[in-house]
Structure 1
Amino acid sequence: MNRGKAVAIVTGTSRGIGEAVALELLTAGYEVYGLSRSESKVLVGRERFTSVPCDLANAGDLEQIIDRLFLIIREDAEISELLLINNAAKLEPLKPIDAIRASEMAVHLQTSLLAPMLLCSRFVHHTRAIAALRRKTIINVTSGLAEYSAPSMSMYCSGKAALNMLTRCIADEQRDEANPVHVFAFDPGMADTQMQTVARGRDKADFPLQGYFQTSYEQGKLRSPAEVAAALYRLLRESHQSGSVLRAFENDR
C-alpha cells in the first residue's frame, strides 16, 4: 500500500541540532524544507532538501514565507504526513534582567517565542484544509531550563517556559478535532552545539553558570547533535499524549 509522502519543515537548519534533525529526517525518507538565515554546508545540494532563506526575527516576512510555502505543499496530493519542528532559538542575552535593553528582549522573544507561535498558527490553519493528511505533528524544541530558574538566563528560561505552555494550549485546542494536530515539546538535554560554546565562553562575573557549562563539557556530559536527532526521530515513531514534553534522554535528568 502506498503510504504517501512525508514532509517536514524545520527551523534553524544551518547548524547544530536543526541541521542534524534535517539530516536524520532525510535519511528516513522525508522531504525537508529548512528555514534559516544561512545555508548548511552539510545539507546544501542534498536530494529532497530545500533551503528556505528566512529571518525568524522578522514576523511579517516569516508569515508571508510560510504562507507561500504552504501553497506549494498543498499542491502535492501525495503528502500524507506533515511535520513542523520549531528548533531555532536564541540563547543570549546572558546577563541580569536589569542589564538587558528593550531591543535585546524584543529580538530574543521574536526569534525564540513569536516565530514558533506564528509557525504553529499557520501550520494549524493550513493543515486543516489538507484532507489527505493522516498525520500532522508539531515539535517545539524546549529545554530543562523551562522548568528551572537560572541567573542571567531570564530571557531563555522564560521563552522556553512559554513554549511549553504554548504546546499544551494547542493540544487542548486540537483535542476535539476530527483530524487533530498532535503537538509536543522536545527537551534535547545538553548537546554540544554553538549555544554551549557561547555559554562556556562568557565571563563568570556576568554569567554565574559559566563554570557549570564548562564542567559539563569537560566531563563529557554533552550529547552530539546526531544523537539528539536520532532520539527525536525515535520518539516521533512512538505514541505519546499530545501536549506532553518528550525528553531525549530521561536518564540525564
Structure 2
Amino acid sequence: MSADHANRRTAVVTGASRGIGEALAAALLARNYRVYGISRSDSGKLSGHTGYSAIACDLSDAARTEAMADRLFRELSAAGGGELLLINNAAMLEPLGPVESLGAADMSLHMHASLIAPMTLCGAFIRHTQQLPIAKRIVNVTSGLAIHSAPAMSPYCSSKAALNMLTRCIADEQRERPHPILAYALDPGMAETRMQATARNRDKADFPLQNFFRESHEQGRLRTPEHVAAETLRLLADVRPGAAGTVLHV
C-alpha cells in the first residue's frame, strides 16, 4: 500500500446538497478529504469536484438507508486509508405546530429522517470499521433545542435531544474497545439555512417563535454555513479523545 493511500482521509456527510452540509463537504474537500455526500438531490457547487461522490438517498426511507449505509461502509472499510469521518448533518424541521395538531405520519417521517437515519448510519459505520486501527470519528449535528424546549417544535426538539443521547451511548460503548470510534455531537448555533428561512416565514399564529427567527435574521445574528464549517473543522482538530460523547459548540 502506498503512503498516499495509507494516509488518505475520507468523510461521509449527510445533507450535503445545501446549507451546513454542503459547506462542510466543501471545507473537507479543501483539506484534501475524499468526500461522499448523501442527500436527495445533487449539490451544484460540489458535483464537478474530482474528490466528491454524490450518493442519492432519501433518509426517511429506513430500508434504503440501511442498505446504502451497509454497502458504503463495507466498501470504505475494505479500501482502507488513514481516517474515516461520518458527519450526520441531515435533519428535518417540519412538522411545526402544537403536538395535538400533528399527524402520526408526519411525526414518523421526521423521526426517520432526523433520528433513525443517523442511528442507522452510526450502526453501519461501527459495524464495518470497528476493527480498523485508524482514526475513526462520528459527528452528530445537534441543536440548542435539544436542551431548550420550544413551542410548536416538539418533533425537532425531541429528535435532537435523542441524537445527543445516542452520541453519549456510542461513546460509552466505544470507551473500552481496542480500536475505539470517537463520537461527538456538534451544536452549530444559528446559521443562515433553508430551515431558518422556513421558520421565519411561517404564520405567526401557528408558530409562536416566528418573530424570534425573523429578528435573528434581520439583526444579523445568523452565522454563514461556511463559518460553521470552518469552526467545526477547527474544533475537531483540537478536541481531546476524552471528550467523546460531549457536545461541541461552534
- TM-score normalised to structure 2 length: 0.96
Alignment of 1:95-106 (within 5 A): 95-106=97-108
* Pair 1:8 & 2:14 matched: no
CA deviation after TM superposition for structure 1 residue 38, in Å: 0.3
Match of 1:122 in 2: 124
Match of 1:82 in 2: 84
CA deviation after TM superposition for structure 1 residue 204, in Å: 0.6
Unaligned runs of 5+ in 2: none
Contact 2:189 2:249 in 1 (8 A): yes
CA distance in 1, matches of 2:154, 2:185: 19
CA deviation after TM superposition for structure 1 residue 179, in Å: 1.1
User: Deviation string for 1:31-75 (max 9, x for gaps)?
Assistant: 000000000000001011000000100110111111111232123
Contact 2:69 2:120 in 1 (8 A): no
User: Counterpart of 1:96 in structure 2: which amino acid?
Assistant: P
SS in 1 for 2:248: strand
CA distance in 2, matches of 1:148, 1:75: 42
CA deviation after TM superposition for structure 1 residue 178, in Å: 1.4
Over the matched positions of the two proteins, sequence identity in percent amounts to 53
Match of 2:51 in 1: 48
Match of 2:211 in 1: 211
Unaligned runs of 5+ in 1: 249-253
CA distance in 1, matches of 2:59, 2:79: 26
User: Counterpart of 2:188 in structure 1: which amino acid?
Assistant: P
Which range moves more in the overlay, 66-75 or 23-32?
66-75
CA deviation after TM superposition for structure 1 residue 229, in Å: 0.3
Aligned length: 245
CA deviation after TM superposition for structure 1 residue 239, in Å: 2.4
Match of 2:146 in 1: 146
Match of 1:25 in 2: 28
CA distance in 2, matches of 1:229, 1:29: 15
CA distance in 1, matches of 2:136, 2:77: 13
Alignment of 1:82-231 (within 5 A): 82-129=84-131, 131=132, 133-231=133-231
User: Counterpart of 1:86 in structure 2: which amino acid?
Assistant: N
Match of 2:64 in 1: 61
CA deviation after TM superposition for structure 1 residue 153, in Å: 0.4
CA distance in 1, matches of 2:46, 2:115: 26
CA deviation after TM superposition for structure 1 residue 128, in Å: 1.3
Match of 1:251 in 2: none
User: Deviation string for 1:171-218 (max 9, x for gaps)?
Assistant: 000000111000000000000000000001001100000000000000
